[in-house]
Amino acid sequence: MTGRVLEISEADYEADKFFDDFPTLRSSICWKLIERGSTPRHAWYASPRLNPNFEQEHRKIFDKGAAAHALLLGKGKQFQIINCPNYMTKEARSLRDAAYAEGKIPLLEKDYKEAVAMADAARDQLSQLVEHRTLSVMPFGKEETERVLIWEDRGVWCRARVDHLPDNGEILLEYKSSAASAAPELFPYRNFRQLGYDCQVAFYRRGLEACGVATSPQIAICVQENYPPYLMSYNRIDDEVLMRANEKIERALKTWRHCLESGEWPGYSAAGYDINLTERERQEMDAVHAVNGASGSHITSEDVAATVNTPSNLFRK
């Protein structure tokens, strides 16, 4: 693998303006190639270079976290404060849409105040991590943040925008905000795996190694709740988790390369699909058959109701 570290605008990065002849692969599109319930066609649709009708998705639910991210890292999108109580009026929506069109984050005044509070709380908690010696230095120095990596991996050009370059090759630290709990007993089984954060950080690690920034750096994610008191948990990612994520990435790279070469980005199969009983459902059916002594025969709703203690008519007069 070969690559380099760049410093380009977020707009150019999002538009994938690296090569004239072909698109690059980023972690979010990589995830769409391997995510359950997704297909190469979903990945094609999410690419600004492949999809001629591509439009950047804007969702208010992400705006406050994006603003906190920019305030904490000292880089990223600018934001526009909308002096309206909500977006119920035509004027407010017009101001919001204008901000989006200019590449800015629109924020209602109350949301801006919350974003500032989030960033302040994040700094306080990061300082506690340094005091506890969990971190060796205070992260997210402006000169080290929002750096772009571009590299070739298995014949595929990839790109990434990392929150913070590793200090002395020791640790890659990513910041995430979340409307869900950041509790360490919940985060690994909700956002981390469900949103593909495992593949994202493994993808970043490959980029760091290809660009000669670090060799097998430790990976950690600071995830912060976007509601008071804006608590943050610090989560180290085990190497076995990254190894498993790398296997998924290898599969995604192969799929991306094949689709680019063939020009075909398949969605769901035109042959259709069969919905069959799961093993658990089969066991439940066997249990019902055993109770009724009619294995293999037709079971009526009354037969099923007779096997439970609740009335079959839930809408009793």
CA atoms of 159 and 149, how far apart (whole Å): 6
Domain residue ranges of the chain, discontinuous segments joined by +: 59-134, 275-308
**Predicted pLDDT of residue 312:** 45
Question: pLDDT tens, 28-78?
Answer: 999 999 998 999 999 999 999 999 999 888 788 888 999 999 999 988 778
Lowest mean pLDDT: which of 69-83, 123-137, 226-240, 281-295?
Answer: 281-295
- The residue-averaged pLDDT of 153-157 equals 95
pLDDT band at 230 (very low <50, low <70, confident <90, very high): very high
Handedness of CA 249, 254, 258, 260 (dihedral sign): positive
- Rounded mean pLDDT of the chain? 89
Which pLDDT value is given to residue 140?
85
Other Cβ atoms less than 10 A from the Cβ of 51: the count is 14
Q: Provide the pairing of β-strand 105-108 with 79-82.
A: parallel
| Exposed e or buried b per residue across 111-142, where buried means at least 16 C-beta atoms within 10 angstroms of its C-beta | bbebbebbbebbeebbeebeeeeebeeebbee
> Tens digits of per-residue pLDDT, 259-270?
999 999 999 999
Global pTM value: 0.85
| Strand partners of residue 200 | none
